[in-house]
Chains A and B, each alone.
Chain A
Amino acid sequence: MLKKYVKTFLSFILAAVFLVSACGSIEGPEIWIYASIIGVALIVYAVYSFVSDKQEEKR
C-alpha cells in the first residue's frame, strides 16, 4: 500500500500538471490569474494534508 502522504504528494503533482495543461487549452493570458488562485488553494490543501498525514503516521 502506498502511504497516505505519498498519495497526497502524487495527487498534488498530478493536479498541478493537469491545471497547467488546462490553461494551455484556453486562449488569452487572464486564465493564468484564475489558475494561480486555484494553484495556491491546492498548495495550501496539499501542505495541510501532507502534515496531518505525517502526524497520523507518527502516532
Chain B
Amino acid sequence: MRELLKSKARRIELVLALVLFLAEGFLYLTFRSTELNMFRLYEHAGPWVNSLREWGSALSVPQWVRYSLPDGLWLLSYLLLVDAIWNKFDKVSCVWYLIMPAVAFGSELAQVWWGLTGTADLMDFVCYAVAVGVTLIVIYSKNYIRKRIAAYA
C-alpha cells in the first residue's frame, strides 16, 4: 500500500478522488429524495442528516447540480482511483477502467429502454461523458510527462 502513495501524481489522484466522492455523498444526502436506498442506512445516522437536509432545502441550487453532477463526480472519483492503482490503460487494466463507465451509461440506457427505476436525463450522460473526458486528459497528460522525462534522461 505504501507503494501507492510514493508517486506525487498518485497522491494527488487519491486525494482528489476522495474529495470528489465525499462531495458526491454530500450532494446526495443534502438534496436527493429520501426514497433512495442509501437513506435506509442513514436513517440510523442521527439528526445530523435531517439538519443537513433542512439547510439544503433553503438553498437555491440548479437542477443539474442536484441530479446529474453527483453521478459525474462518482464516476470521476472511481476512474481516478483506478488510474492511481494501475497508472496506465492497457489490456490488463482496461476491464477495471471500463466497468463503472459501462454500469453508469448502461443504467441510464436501462432507464430509457427497460424502465429501470430512475429518470434518464441528458445531463446525466453529459456529466458521465465529462468524467470520462477528464480521465482521458489525466491519462494522456501522465503519458506525455512520462515520455518527456524519459527523453531527457
Contact = CB atoms under 8 A, between A and B. Distances in A.
Interface of A: 1-2, 4, 7-8, 10-11, 14-15, 18-19, 21-31, 34, 38, 42, 45, 49
B36 A11 contact: no
A18 B21 CA distance: 10
Interface in B89-113: 92-93, 95-96, 99-100, 103-104, 107, 110
Given A11-B96, A15-B96, A45-B95, A26 B118 contact: yes
Interface stretch (B43-51, B53-61, B78-86, B135-143): B78-86
Given A1-B3, A7-B85, A11-B93, 6 more contacts: A18-B74, A18-B100, A22-B104, A25-B28, A25-B74, A27-B37
B85 A2 contact: yes
A37 B73 CA distance: 24
Nearest to B100: A18
Contacts, number: 79
The prevalent SS among residues of B at the interface is helix
A10 B85 contact: yes
Contacts of A7: 85-86, 93
A28 B115 CA distance: 12
Nearest to A3: B3
A31 B114 CA distance: 12
A2 B4 contact: yes
B73 to A, nearest CB: 11
A4 B117 contact: no
B22 to A, nearest CB: 12
Contact of A21 (B74, B81, B86, B96): B74
B36 to A, nearest CB: 6
